[in-house]
């Protein structure tokens, strides 16, 4: 069980503090780690802050409130797969040929182990033990497609119950 919270503002106002407060309200859904990923709207890069423990320990509210970002996602973690360490804290972000992306996920991908083995046999190098990273690798292996199409194709390969 985890908590996922996201926000977007059309008029350019920063949403980072809103996402921080949303995660704080979802703290009961996960207390192992917390993280926020955002796009500053300047160069398309995804930036993030993640830490272990409760939201107010893992994330610096004052620092986040000073950053301008019109879109962000956040995650509080209670692990059901993968170890309880910083490498498994979400959102997980990556840069690939089509740009930058971040994913936060709640649930259990039941065929993640098999997909991971297949991807590793094709040269994928995983940085965590969480099943969430499988989604990013599936997308990266379809780098000829726009990100949304790559995501849809990746999700078709997954089994289990989850939300992004």
> pLDDT means per 10 residues in the chain (164 residues)?
92 91 95 94 87 96 92 92 86 85 93 96 93 92 87 95 92
Q: What is the pLDDT of residue 138?
A: 94
Calpha distance 82→88 (Å, rounded): 7
Q: What is the pLDDT of residue 7?
A: 96
* 69-82 b/e (C-beta count within 10 Å ≥ 16 → b): bbbbbbbbbebeeb
Active site residue 9: no
Q: What is the pLDDT of residue 42?
A: 77
Task: Find the catalytic residue in 2, 34, 112, 115.
Answer: 2
Q: Give the count of domains, the chain.
A: 1
* Domain encompassing residue 109: 3-163
The CATH number that applies at residue 125 is: 3.60.20.10
Q: What is the pLDDT of residue 100?
A: 86
């Amino acid at each position: 069980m985890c908590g996922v919270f996201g926000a977007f503002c059309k008029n350019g106002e920063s949403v980072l503090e809103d996402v921080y407060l949303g995660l704080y309200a979802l703290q009961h859904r996960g207390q192992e780690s917390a993280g926020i990923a955002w796009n500053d709207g300047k160069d398309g890069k995804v930036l993030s802050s993640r830490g272990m423990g409760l939201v107010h320990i893992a994330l610096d509210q004052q620092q986040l409130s000073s950053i301008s970002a019109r879109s962000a996602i956040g995650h509080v973690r209670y692990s059901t797969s993968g170890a309880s360490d910083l490498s498994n804290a979400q959102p997980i972000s990556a840069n690939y040929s089509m740009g930058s992306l971040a994913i936060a996920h709640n649930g259990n991908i039941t065929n993640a182990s098999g997909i991971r083995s297949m991807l590793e046999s094709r040269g994928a190098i995983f940085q965590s033990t969480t099943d969430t990273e499988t989604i990013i690798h599936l997308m990266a292996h379809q780098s000829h497609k726009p990100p949304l199409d790559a995501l849809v194709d990746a999700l078709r390969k997954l089994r289990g119950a989850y939300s992004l």
